[in-house]
Amino acid sequence: MKNGFGMKALALMLGAAAMNAAQAYDADWKRGRIYYRQVCTSCHTAELKKPIAPNDSTKAQWTAYFQADKHGKNTVKHYFSSQYRDSIKAKNAAAAKYADLPEKDLIEDVKAFLQKGAKDGDAPAGCN
């Protein structure tokens, strides 16, 4: 009797784990690259007269940047919000293209691109 109960409990736990794995978001670094280059880089170039390239920082530095969630007077998340994208979509094709994408997915996409393109990433990327 105990053995049958244990097997059912194990099956329930494995089922729950499989559901969580199925719901996990698989970041799209290519979409992150498009958003970063068309939104982030264009703004930094206009405001600072110098783009911020992914290979300007290490993976750990990019991770710390997102964890701190500070970008000037705003949060990092602000620049991924649907409100921000809506405010620039008339002049920015990437903001318009990804207007309906969930904020958290877009953030994960850009994080994936920055990790890949970081100074110590798999494919360090500049802004040439």
> Do the domain assignments include residue 4?
no
> Do the domain assignments include residue 10?
no
Domain count, the chain: 1
pLDDT band for position 1 (50/70/90)?
very low
> Do the domain assignments include residue 31?
yes
> What is the domain range of residue 66?
27-117
> Do the domain assignments include residue 46?
yes
Q: What is the pLDDT of residues 30-51, one digit of tens each?
A: 999 999 999 999 888 888 888 8
- Is residue 72 within 8 A of residue 40, CB to CB? The reply is no
Mean pLDDT confidence for 90-114: 96
What integer pLDDT is reported at residue 4 of this predicted model? Answer: 60
One-letter amino acid for residue 36 of the chain? Y
Query: Looking up tokens 């290519």, which residue turns up?
Result: 30
- Taking phi over 0 as left and psi of -120 to 50 as alpha, with beta for the rest, 118 belongs to beta
> Do the domain assignments include residue 53?
yes
Mean pLDDT confidence for 89-93: 95
pLDDT band for position 9 (50/70/90)?
low
> Do the domain assignments include residue 17?
no
- Is residue 124 within 8 A of residue 54, CB to CB? The reply is yes
- Is residue 116 within 8 A of residue 108, CB to CB? The reply is no
Tell me, yes or no, if the pTM score tops 0.75: yes
What integer pLDDT is reported at residue 128 of this predicted model? Answer: 56
